């Protein structure tokens, strides 16, 4: 079994709320002892590790960070899926969520984009196919403009939480385990 885990973000704005998906992929790569490398065919950074034990299942896991800006990340994610011969049901997208409290994780399979432009871009690139997994990393929301808020920096506590040794990566791993083992 092969899973693609795509972390969404905005490369020019690292360590912002909108780029929490990139931070999580970097943290997972560190935990797995692999390095992301530029890949022209997928227009992003990619690393694959075979024989990963996730919930008693041995899988191949490919971590991916598209270089495209968040709102136009759909085509690169779809290209990575084709390049790796991975179906939507074997794809897990990690992205920020204004609807969830900071430092929380909420899994979802299918359904609408709920206003998230990065997810909307992926759905569109897949021909309106919404049958992929999502791990929504909560960033909360304040009273300011949403666009300004998501481009604000993650707090030190949030960076630690989603870092390689943080409790957030344990939440991500639990989400991956549920997806891989089919126990939603």
CB 45 within 8 A of CB 68: no
Task: Using the structure block, give the residue that is written with the tokens 């999502």.
Answer: 134
Name every residue whose Cβ is closer than 8 Å to that of residue 177 and which is 6 or more positions away in sequence. 54, 55, 183
Active site residue 100: no
> Which of 95, 115, 120 has its CA nearest to residue 107?
95
Backbone angles phi, psi at 118, to 5 degrees: -65, -45
Q: How far is CA 56 from the centre of its chain?
A: 22
Helices and strands counted in the chain (H then E)? 6, 7
Catalytic-role residue among 2, 18, 22, 95:
18
Cα torsion 55, 32, 118, 128: sign: negative
Torsion of CA 137, 138, 143, 146, to 10 degrees: 10
Residues tagged active-site: 18
């Amino acid at each position: 079994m092969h899973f693609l885990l795509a972390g969404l973000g905005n490369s020019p704005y690292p360590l912002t709320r909108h780029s929490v998906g990139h931070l999580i992929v970097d943290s997972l790569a560190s935990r797995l002892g692999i390095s992301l490398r530029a890949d022209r065919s997928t227009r992003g950074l990619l690393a694959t590790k075979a024989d990963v034990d996730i919930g008693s299942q041995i899988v191949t896991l490919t971590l991916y960070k598209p270089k495209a800006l968040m709102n136009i990340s759909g085509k690169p994610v779809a290209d990575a899926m084709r390049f790796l011969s991975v179906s939507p049901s074997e794809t897990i997208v990690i992205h920020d969520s204004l609807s969830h409290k900071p430092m929380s994780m909420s899994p979802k399979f299918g359904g609408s984009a709920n206003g998230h432009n990065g997810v909307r871009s992926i759905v569109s690139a897949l021909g309106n196919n919404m049958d992929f997994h999502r791990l929504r990393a909560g960033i909360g929301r304040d009273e300011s403009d949403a666009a300004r808020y998501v481009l604000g920096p993650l707090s030190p506590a949030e960076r630690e939480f989603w870092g390689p040794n943080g409790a957030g990566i344990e939440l991500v791993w639990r989400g991956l385990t549920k997806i891989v083992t089919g126990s939603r």
